Structure 1
């Protein structure tokens, strides 16, 4: 048991995958849990992966590390929605072969494809214009807190005013494009990819569960690309054995808890509203600003 605890707590260098931080296995498990529980809930995984380590006295794991363990979340969403994805893919190919461009599957594929373009475009733009984005003011705690508060208010308005008269079967191409534009906002930590797309879906009159379901499908290309790019970069830098273990452990942890959060949220939104997330995000942002003002956290 002592040897096992020593293994968990042994500091392992994570090279550029975690920036200056050193991630041990216990920390990797916890970061994976945080990633998994917050990636698909509308509360911002990037914000929690920034705040939780600081609150626990750890160093910031960095955007590269968090992007790589997101691959666990991607495997989870692929597994959960495999039937939906195969139906859309097969249906889209059949629609193209028969020139039936009004089919639901073809429109879904179009919506996901076109909706992915904005976040790729702005992501590449930031990578070119702000190569040191890991240290950008946009990743500061103050920015995260402000984004969380603003998004909580937008979700509250969407919850209050949304008509919710369209279900999953009535999704259109324009829904993918508009939700894709909202998804691009999630480049800023604290906004939440899931939160921005869910909010946009409610504004457009989608039912809560339908908006969440499409949000998950829409996020697959973007999160996958981000994770693969960062993984390629990390492997190019070369990783020590300990860093590889920490990445694997964090990714597995993220997979397990991502699957749980997906299943829970879809079931929850079938019978509940989103006010719990509104109040949580508001409290989260206020708590961060309060900690900064009181000196408990540094606005970095």
Structure 2
């Protein structure tokens, strides 16, 4: 199976709701479903996505400014990462830097900013609740009675049979869920041609028909990119388990240290300082740094 450069390849989810020529219409449909509103197609929507921030190797998020809100969407096709609130915190800080005039930070008068909202759409294979909320404060080592900083991420399960209300009110998201399910079926039946077969079957069934007819080759390439990404994650977890065994520590502790190191790398800290902060060896951090730059 051919591979592609994931750095410059979006997922089908991102293309549908952010980049495609009909993305604005679909995004507003999803926004209205989430907020029980009826914003018209004439409503201004500004794409303000930051590339390659939430995920290190695949651009897999949607970020739009609409109705005085910043709506940040992300998709998960594997286990939901409980560190998403921290990643979203890093993301929104950079977005505000991008949107706000630097001089406004020093004004005496309060500088108003758009309200952020964070959503993760889960369509992995593991059993997961219909809805749940991840909170930044859950990661705090100590919690005062009054939490000084909070960020909440709403996780919505969009698997067929689990998606509930959101799939009933957003046609595109419902069809996307059916499309993902068809991809799973066809890739199990024919690993070599599964992506292409899934696109054909969905067109026949009327699932995302217009979109898939128009962009079938691009969609197959995006599916290949997503498949490679999930494979990379599985390999990284296997390698983490081997390192944990060699070091005589729990895999969970190592995963947490690796995740912390990845986050610190995004802030530009030195390998030596990250190693000291996490307890990892400099060689382990160097390896993470190398993968981060790829």
Instruction: Identify, as 1 or 2, the structure richer in strand.
Output: 2
TM-score normalised according to structure 2 size: 0.23
Higher relative contact order, structure no. (Cα contacts within 8 Å, ≥ 6 residues apart): 1
TM-score normalised according to structure 1 size: 0.23
Whose Rg is larger?
2
Instruction: Identify, as 1 or 2, the structure richer in helix.
Output: 1
